[in-house]
Structure 1
């Protein structure tokens, strides 16, 4: 694995809910890579425990603000990591922008500016909707149709910010991870 510079070491794995992002991140972690879990799930769990309003089914705007704030903190922490090996994120700052767009919530200008300044590696990996593995759970309440819409919105959002969107094929978890690693090595 070649070494890369600061923000170039930060790779996003994104897509709609239930497409296998967490499973891929777990496999990458098992292979010795630094991975960053999705902030949204953690926020949902915290808000449920607090009986808070920052839940996507109660207050979407507040939930997005919490996600954005957490993503920015995580970005700074990982950017400062002195290990120059790739770091893989389960979603990134732009996912919050995509979420706001998907929910027809106005995107604050400050949020757009920050998202434009906090750049990851320009090659992001996106997982397409995959009905065979899609499942709901206590934090994932989206329908299959919403999962597909989220995927489309993420593609559009990342392209708007001039990222190269690389679709990860629907193959076994080991093959998906190898696809990602091979792609990084060949960039």
Structure 2
């Protein structure tokens, strides 16, 4: 699992910081990318009245996100060239810590096994673009705490955090590509 991770770049941070918009811009520029696990899991479980919603069962939600992120990593291993991830396996640990739940040993093991490029792009809270919606129920304070949890978690796992400054998406795109070496 470690052999090809240098071409895998994670974008992380709190909700509502522009990660998905930036991932979409990377995709439009021709780069491969993953889809954010949390939002799709919430959409799917809301559609079927399923149990995997973070406000109903945060531990189950974390397990579902872990499975999604491991699958995204495996799919990326089959592709060539750089891949940009809308969050990664360590985000699951950050989420569990944020919610006050214990981090099971298998999730810690996954964060060690499923690696990404040492450079991780972190998007700080951006109040001017933050908004809540059907899947994003967190307020701005929780978005800030999520950002802090992700910064702490990725640093703990040996990643170099590169803060993506608040700016128009094309400027953010140029910034990320330059820092990634493209």
3-state DSSP class of the match of 1:124?
Answer: strand
The answer for the alignment partner of 2:55 in structure 1 is 57
The answer for the alignment partner of 2:45 in structure 1 is 47
From 62, 72, 80, give the equivalent of 2:70: 72
From 25, 28, 31, give the equivalent of 1:30: 28
Once the two structures are TM-superposed, the CA of residue 80 in structure 1 deviates from its matched residue by 2.4
In the alignment, the residues of structure 1 paired with residue 181 and residue 90 of structure 2 have an alpha-carbon distance, to the nearest angstrom, of: 24
From 127, 134, 139, give the equivalent of 1:138: 134
The answer for the alignment partner of 1:102 in structure 2 is 98
In the alignment, the residues of structure 2 paired with residue 172 and residue 70 of structure 1 have an alpha-carbon distance, to the nearest angstrom, of: 29
State whether residues 13 and 125 of structure 1, in contact with CA within 8 Å, keep that contact through their aligned partners in structure 2: yes
For structure 2, the residue ranges without an aligned partner over 5 or more in a row are none
User: TM-score under structure 2 normalisation?
Assistant: 0.96
For structure 1, the residue ranges without an aligned partner over 5 or more in a row are none
User: TM-score under structure 1 normalisation?
Assistant: 0.94
Once the two structures are TM-superposed, the CA of residue 35 in structure 1 deviates from its matched residue by 1.1
The answer for the alignment partner of 1:174 in structure 2 is 170
The answer for the alignment partner of 2:124 in structure 1 is 128
In the alignment, the residues of structure 2 paired with residue 79 and residue 14 of structure 1 have an alpha-carbon distance, to the nearest angstrom, of: 20
The answer for the alignment partner of 1:14 in structure 2 is 12
Q: Deviations over 1:134-180 (max 9, x none)?
A: 01000000010000000000000000001000000111110000000
Number of residue pairs matched by the alignment = 180
In the alignment, the residues of structure 1 paired with residue 51 and residue 22 of structure 2 have an alpha-carbon distance, to the nearest angstrom, of: 30
State whether residues 10 and 79 of structure 1, in contact with CA within 8 Å, keep that contact through their aligned partners in structure 2: no
